[in-house]
Structure 1
Amino acid sequence: MDHATEPTRGLRPEDADRTRFLARQTLDVLSPSNSPLLNPEIIEETVRILGRNLTGQAAHFAHDALKTMTGQRDPAPEGYRIGEDPACTPGQVIFRNDLMELIQYAPQTPQVQTRPILIAPACIMKH
């Protein structure tokens, strides 16, 4: 697929990159490892625990679907205002541009890791 989506004469490089990206996303969606019915690790675990993983997830899905249909929300933690507080942990914006803000959160324990961790939501990683 990578070879089939290489830039060709008359095609702008950014269009080739976009095509390659969409092809990669399509292949990832169709990958057997992303399907519970075709992934051998999921099948093995499902058999080992007698399907409790599937029934548990189905219960979570039903609970979330019911809350969505009825407009219910989980209560916010004490001192946290939904839609107003971006996080419960003190922090500060250390970088900002048109696409994102990088927030450095204050440590909450006496010991911290020596290397920072960057957490990016899935919608950001795709662009």
Structure 2
Amino acid sequence: MSPYLPPLAGGLLIGLSAAMLLLLNGRIAGISGLVAGLGRPGRARRLADAAFLLGLILGPPAFALLAGHWPEMRIDAGLPVLALAGLLVGFGTRLGSGCTSGHGVCGLARLSPRSIAAVLVFLATGMLTVAAMRGLP
């Protein structure tokens, strides 16, 4: 099998799910917004948000069922670094009014100027982080 097929299929499924959520529910598939909405009391869309997020969580087991093996993952960082990274990402999504899925997938597709700026900042920060980490012993 071509090494490009799984990422292509994943990208198509992400685009399809984001488009369906927007067309059928009028919602942007920003994961940070969906997760934040689960904690707000009295939300009518809580069940739909939870179902969308459950679909994301069930993706790797579905992959394992269809492919016969789990997706390959390699995490070289320790728990403290991962915890700090998670906190920084959470802070950044609140500061930037969204995450890579909301701005990168949905915002760019809508040609949102705010999302274009956010994605440029995401990419620049990611490149600087990789450069800094590779420069460290």
Please give the range of the TM-score, normalised by the shorter of the 2 chains. under 0.3
Superposition TM-score, scaled by structure 2 size:
0.23
User: Hey, which of these two has a bigger chunk of helix by percent?
Assistant: 2
Q: Per chain length, whose mean CA-contact separation is higher, i.e. which structure has more relative contact order (CA < 8 Å, sep 6+)?
A: 2
Question: Which of structures 1 and 2 has the bigger CA Rg?
Answer: 1
User: Hey, which of these two has a bigger chunk of strand by percent?
Assistant: 1
